[in-house]
Amino acid sequence: MIETAQAFGVDIGGSGIKAAPVDLTKGDFAEPRLKILTPEVSTPQAVAKIVKQQLDHFEVPESAPVGIAFPAPIKPGQKLDFERFGNDMLLDFYKAERDAIAEICPDKPFTTNFMVSTDQCCMDYAAWAKEVNFVSNDHYFHEGESHLDELACSDALMDSLALGKPWYVMEHSTSAVQWKPLNTRKRKGEIVRDSLAHVAMGADAINFFQWRASAFGAEAFHSAMRRCTRSPTPACRAPNWRTPTRRSSSAPNRNGPPAPRPCRA
């Protein structure tokens, strides 16, 4: 492969399979591409044989990264079938784990974190709700004016899935997360507002992720209830853990007297 190329690209199309070394610094072909017609019977073995021929033609070393693309229109029916398959596969996996644990702990309740929000509700959670003892949800801050509307919509769906039984907010954050394109911090009072909004919409428990800010890795930049002393990341410096610990003592207890004051870490 020519020295100016840092990678090798393959485009597998319906009529032709195109390949060429790529100059990543210029974003262009390092050599003219080689096109070979796609086999009429395009089995994986037949296509792989042509790709091997192209790799040999350009003398691509084994150490070179190879990117392969299959550009094609997406059929809505196939996409829907894949979503159904993904849901059923993950649900079967959860039930297998649940049943294995139930053999050891037969009297313990089981749940798993749902991901009900406007951009993540892609599972058949009505089917999942039948397989847990109580439903629980991970709900994270949506920046912008629509945040409370989205929270109310997500919680209303969770309340309907619970069918009158208790349900939990298994995870929400004290401030910014680290996995969005834009990770906005919560302003003063928004932790309390969101927590009480979940209670008002029917949640029986409000839990936070994470307890102590991670010292290393991606979640070192995720907000937490308790600061970490071993890392200089923003999540560790923020004292926002005090709000949820104080607020838990004043939150309404729907099943009896006021909740006891918590112990601080």
Report yes or no on whether pTM surpasses 0.75: no
Taking the chain (265 residues) in consecutive chunks of 10 residues, what is each chunk's mean pLDDT?
A: 85 92 90 93 91 93 90 73 85 96 93 80 88 93 83 92 92 87 86 93 92 82 77 50 56 48 40
What size, in residues, is the chain?
265
Q: Which residues contact 215 (CB under 8 A, 6 or more apart)?
A: 228, 230, 231, 236
The continuous run of DSSP H or E covering 85 comes out as: helix 76-104
What pLDDT is stored for residue 253 in this prediction?
54
Separation between Cα atoms, residue 256 and residue 69, nearest integer Å: 60
What pLDDT is stored for residue 261 in this prediction?
42
Separation between Cα atoms, residue 209 and residue 224, nearest integer Å: 6
Q: Which residues contact 177 (CB under 8 A, 6 or more apart)?
A: 140, 141, 183, 222, 223
